[in-house]
């Protein structure tokens, strides 16, 4: 056995650097977080060769006193916490006091700072050896500049794992973008190899914030985003979520912040996925920029060296709050809101006082109340005037009672959502002479294409609707509403089904028995590792109940909540709605088409079918003119 020895300061710091300093981007993250904690409102970032040669961060924060400069490069030295109580409610981005020490152990570091408005300042230098520092005067305005040169110059084994300058710069740029989204009140300027890359001005208004988001995430994101702001029981969630039609093939446009700290959390990801599960195409990922604010004492940020992960004291309430907030925000978006965003204001550099991103779900969005229009008496047609009124030309027929046997449904689904032709179908339809303000968002139907698409004219141009997808969503939402109003009908099992589970799962089933009862299940513990299923919802009598119960228990253990049973019920209702919706090649009259358009305007999530595909699109007059090169 070799004798136990204390590690040298140099080796200890280099080991610690392995946790903190992975590549240039992790260095920039620590430096920028220190600047933000120091109260900086302007950050100047200079990078050379992807950060491997040079990283310089200059801020206008509070600065560091002369006597504290050498101490700032010592391990576990910080001005951000002093006692255990501070650690239990961390309000700063950094608090461990190891970043500068770790960086200086693997690079050449110069720290210049001043605490007054005069040019007097001091500089401390460390070059990765035994942490010896050199203190000298250096002119500097109030604030701090940190220069990091020749990263891993003294640890060749780690330097060889760095990628190309371009790759390292890409990672570094992502860090700057994430931090720029966390603090709209701070100006960021980034230069690479002497070339200006980004210059983001500070701003606190919603327009200025949305301009920053558009600059970082791209204008297409903001053009398709819904602004939300929800608050409940000490939790506040605000930010922007993209509509389902603006989905991604990868989860590369997802920014979530907890008290200003960018995190990646499984609980958050699960809640967001559930909020989108009814409207997102399979294999696609939502895009969002969201901010969760809560009492710092209810969240633990000290669970990972990079501080990317957090632990909430009440996982279940946080999960449910995020899910319900996003779920309702997405449900409230109507076609008129989507269209309004396309024609409101100019681009992201529009005139002051004009908000081009005005769509908001914070205060609720009212459904369209379309009025009557000319020709309706002649055609035997009346436009829908709300979510509960239907025209003779487009009838939802009868709802099925909640909890019905799926087998019985098939015989009745032929009438569910069927389109009944009105009298006088040979009448000539005339587009009403109305001003733009009187034209409904999806306009008036003018033709049907190939028995698949409805062509309509609105105030902006041409609307194309996939009639089956649109009717499927309308039918599905009505079935869900009917099912919820009627309650979940259950049936007892003549022979209870026994399933073997772990003791942890059995305990979970006992603790959450009320949730299972609400969803129509009755579970009974028959032993330390045995559960009996005595009752289940009628609509799930043909489902793989044992696997469903296991999956729900897994969700409850990990997240404190589960939507699997409701999701399974929704899948069945979705299948029923699909079979009950108008099929392709079905010839519709003009009144039937218009009735469908009015119902789309009044239905939640009508922009996507049950499978997440879009139900309609707009070709504006300007876009059509470009196609035909008019005015060129």
Q: Which two tokens stand for residue 316?
A: 């279940």
Cβ atoms of 33 and 71 closer than 8 Å = no
Q: Greater confidence, 311 or 149?
A: 149
Terminal CA-CA length for the chain: 85
Cβ atoms of 446 and 619 closer than 8 Å = no
Q: Name every residue whose Cβ is closer than 8 Å to that of residue 75 and which is 6 or more positions away in sequence.
A: 9, 12, 13, 16, 97, 98, 101, 102
State yes or no: pLDDT of 389 exceeds 50: no
State yes or no: pLDDT of 444 exceeds 90: yes
Q: Which two tokens stand for residue 551?
A: 């999956």
Give CA separation, 264 vs 22, 37, 257, 485, 488, in Å: 18, 21, 9, 37, 36
**Which of 50-59, 474-483, 574-583 has the largest mean confidence?**
50-59
Cβ atoms of 519 and 566 closer than 8 Å = yes
Place of tokens 């239905």: 603
DSSP 413-481: TTTTTPPPP-S-TTSPP------GGGS-TT-EEEEEETTTEEEEE-SSEEEEEEHHHHHHHHHHHHHHH
Angle subtended at Cα 406 by Cα 404 and Cα 408, rounded to the nearest 5 degrees: 75
What's the rounded Cα separation, in Å, for the pair 459 and 621? 9
Find the range with the poorest average confidence among 79-83, 181-185, 240-244: 79-83
If residue 281 lies in a helix (H) or strand (E), which one and from where to where?
Answer: none
What's the rounded Cα separation, in Å, for the pair 10 and 18? 13
pLDDT at position 585:
77
Tell me whether strands 42-48 and 187-192 are parallel, antiparallel or unpaired.
parallel
State yes or no: pLDDT of 448 exceeds 80: yes
Cβ atoms of 168 and 51 closer than 8 Å = yes
* Bridge partners for 619 per DSSP: 462
Specify the DSSP class assigned to residue 348.
T
**Which of 67-71, 162-166, 275-279 has the largest mean confidence?**
162-166
**Helical axes 564-580 vs 545-559, angle rounded to 10°:** 130
Place of tokens 């969803």: 519
* pLDDT tens, position by position, 187-228: 999 999 999 999 999 998 999 999 999 999 999 999 889 999
Average pLDDT (293-297) is 93
Average pLDDT (489-518) is 90
* Bridge partners for 533 per DSSP: 497, 523
pLDDT at position 437:
55
State yes or no: pLDDT of 287 exceeds 50: yes
What's the rounded Cα separation, in Å, for the pair 619 and 623? 6
Backbone angles phi and psi of 344, in degrees to 5: -85, 120
User: Which string of b and e fits 151-189 if b means at least 16 CB within 10 Å?
Assistant: bbebbeebeeebeebeebbebbbebbbebbbbbbebbbb
pLDDT at position 72:
87
Burial (Cβ within 10 Å: 0-12, 13-18, ≥19) of residue 338: buried
Q: pTM of the full predicted structure?
A: 0.74
Closest CA to 74 of 22, 13, 153, 145: 13
What's the rounded Cα separation, in Å, for the pair 260 and 472? 41
pLDDT at position 209:
96
pLDDT at position 130:
59
Q: Greater confidence, 515 or 380?
A: 515
What's the rounded Cα separation, in Å, for the pair 311 and 292? 13
Closest CA to 367 of 392, 385, 352: 385
Place of tokens 């060749």: 156
- CA atoms lying within 13 Å on the CB side of residue 373: 22
Q: Which two tokens stand for residue 518?
A: 């609400």
At residue 280 the predicted structure's pLDDT band, cuts being 50, 70 and 90, is: confident
Give the Cβ contact number of residue 49 at 10 Å: 16
pLDDT at position 241:
95
Find the range with the poorest average confidence among 56-70, 330-344, 460-474, 580-594: 330-344
pLDDT at position 131:
59
Find the range with the poorest average confidence among 252-256, 305-309, 511-515: 305-309
What's the rounded Cα separation, in Å, for the pair 100 and 131? 11
What domains can be seen in the chain, in order of their start residue? 9-200 (3.30.565.10), 206-343 (3.30.230.10), 375-632 (3.30.1540.20)
* pLDDT tens, position by position, 118-131: 778 999 998 875 55
State yes or no: pLDDT of 366 exceeds 50: no
What's the rounded Cα separation, in Å, for the pair 94 and 78? 9
């Amino acid at each position: 056995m070799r004798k136990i020895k204390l590690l040298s300061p140099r080796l200890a710091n280099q080991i610690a650097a392995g946790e903190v300093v992975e590549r240039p981007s992790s260095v920039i993250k620590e430096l920028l977080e220190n600047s933000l904690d120091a109260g900086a409102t302007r950050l100047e970032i200079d990078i050379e060769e992807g950060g491997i040669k040079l990283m310089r961060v200059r801020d206008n924060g509070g600065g560091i006193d002369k006597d504290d400069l050498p101490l700032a490069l010592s391990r576990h030295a910080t001005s951000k916490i002093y006692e255990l109580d501070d650690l239990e409610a961390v309000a700063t981005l950094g608090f461990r006091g190891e970043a500068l020490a770790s960086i200086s152990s693997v690079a050449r570091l110069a720290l210049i700072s001043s605490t007054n408005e005069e040019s007097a300042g001091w500089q401390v230098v460390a070059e990765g050896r035994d942490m010896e520092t050199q203190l000298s005067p250096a002119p500097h305005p109030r604030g701090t500049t940190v220069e990091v040169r020749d990263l891993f110059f003294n640890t060749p084994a780690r330097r060889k794992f760095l990628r190309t300058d371009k790759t390292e710069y890409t990672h570094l740029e992502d860090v700057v973008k994430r931090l720029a989204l966390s603090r709209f009140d701070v100006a960021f300027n980034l230069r690479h190899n002497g070339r200006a890359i980004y210059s983001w001005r500070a701003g606190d208004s919603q327009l200025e914030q949305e301009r920053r988001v558009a600059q970082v995430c791209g204008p297409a994101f903001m053009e398709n985003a819904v602004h939300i702001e929800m608050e409940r029981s000490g939790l506040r969630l605000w930010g922007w979520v993209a509509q389902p039609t603006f989905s991604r093939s990868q989860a590369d446009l997802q920014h979530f912040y907890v008290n200003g700290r960018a995190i990646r959390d499984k609980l958050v990801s699960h809640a967001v996925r559930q909020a989108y599960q009814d409207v997102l195409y399979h294999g696609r990922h939502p895009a969002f920029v969201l901010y969760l604010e809560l009492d710092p004492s209810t969240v633990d940020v000290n669970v990972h060296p990079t501080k990317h992960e957090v632990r909430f004291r009440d996982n279940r309430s946080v999960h449910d709050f995020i899910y319900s907030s996003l779920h309702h925000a997405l449900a409230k978006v109507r076609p008129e809101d989507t269209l309004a965003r396309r024609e409101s204001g100019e681009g992201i550099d529009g005139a002051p006082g004009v908000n081009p991103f005005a769509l908001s779900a914070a205060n609720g969005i009212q459904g369209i109340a379309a009025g009557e229009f000319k020709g309706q008496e002649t055609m035997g047609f009346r436009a829908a005037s709300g979510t509960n009124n239907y025209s003779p030309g487009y009838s939802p027929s009868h709802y099925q009672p909640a909890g019905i046997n799926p087998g019985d449904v098939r015989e009745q689904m032929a009438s569910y959502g069927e389109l009944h032709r009105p009298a006088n179908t040979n009448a000539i339809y005339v587009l009403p002479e109305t001003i733009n303000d009187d034209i409904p968002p999806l306009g008036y139907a003018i033709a049907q294409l190939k028995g698949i698409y409805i062509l309509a004219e609105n105030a902006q141009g041409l609307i194309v609707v996939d009639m089956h997808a649109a009717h499927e969503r309308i039918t599905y939402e009505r079935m869900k509403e009917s099912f919820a109003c009627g309650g979940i009908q259950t049936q007892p099992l003549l022979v209870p089904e026994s399933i073997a589970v772990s003791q942890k799962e059995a305990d979970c089933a006992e603790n959450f028995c009320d949730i299972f009862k609400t969803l129509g299940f009755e579970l009974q513990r028959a032993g330390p590792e045995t559960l009996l299923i005595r009752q289940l919802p009628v609509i799930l009598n043909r489902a793989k109940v044992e696997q469903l119960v296991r999956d729900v228990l897994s969700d409850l253990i990990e997240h404190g909540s589960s939507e699997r049973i409701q999701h399974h019920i929704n899948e069945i209702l979705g299948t029923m709605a699909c079979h009950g919706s108008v099929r392709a090649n079905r010839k519709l009259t003009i009144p039937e088409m218009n009735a469908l358009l009015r119902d789309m305007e009044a239905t939640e999530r009508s922009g996507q079918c049950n499978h997440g595909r879009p139900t309609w699109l707009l070709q504006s007059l300007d876009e059509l003119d470009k196609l035909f090169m008019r005015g060129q």
